[in-house]
Amino acid sequence: MIRKTYTAAATLFFLLVTVFSSCSKEEETIGNWIIGTWDIDRYVQLNYDNGEVMGDSESLNQGKIEFKADGTGNDIGGNFIGGEFTWTNTAKSLSLTTGGGLTTYVIEEYSNSAFIFSITDIKGDNKDVERWYLSK
C-alpha cells in the first residue's frame, strides 16, 4: 500500500513539474522569438454586418515594427501604432501600451520569420477585424 501511494505521488509530482516547465519555456521562447525588427508586409481590414463581409481594405508595405528585449518598441514609419510603445505577450496575445492606452491583439500565427496578429471590434451584429502580417 505504501509503495502504490509513493508511486502515485511521484508520478503526480513529475507530471506537475513537466506541465509548469513547459509553460515557462513556451513564454520564454515567445518573448525571445518576437524580439527584433519586423516588416509590416500587409494590413487587412474586414467589416462584417450580420456575418457577411460588407467591406474590406488592404495596404501593403506599411513600414517596420521593432520589439526590443527590454519590453519597449518602436513603430518605424508610424503606420502601425504611431511611434514608441511598451509590449508584453503570451502565446495567444500581444499587448501594446502607448500614450493612448493599452491595446491587446490576438496572436494568430508565429514563427521565427512570420507573425500574424489581429484585433476585433464588435458592435452589436457588426464587427471590424484588423489583421497585420509581419515578416523578418
Residue 28 belongs to a domain: no
Could you give the number of structural domains in the chain?
1
pLDDT tens profile 34-75 = 999 999 999 999 999 988 889 999 999 999 999 999 999 999
pLDDT tens profile 13-27 = 444 444 444 444 445
CATH of the domain at 117: 2.40.128
Residue 25 belongs to a domain: no
pTM check: above 0.95: no
Residue 29 belongs to a domain: no
Residue 127 belongs to a domain: yes
Angle at 60 between CA 58 and CA 62, to 5 degrees: 115
Residues 6 or more apart whose CB falls under 8 angstroms from that of 52 comprise none
Residues of the domain holding 80: 35-135
Residue 8 belongs to a domain: no
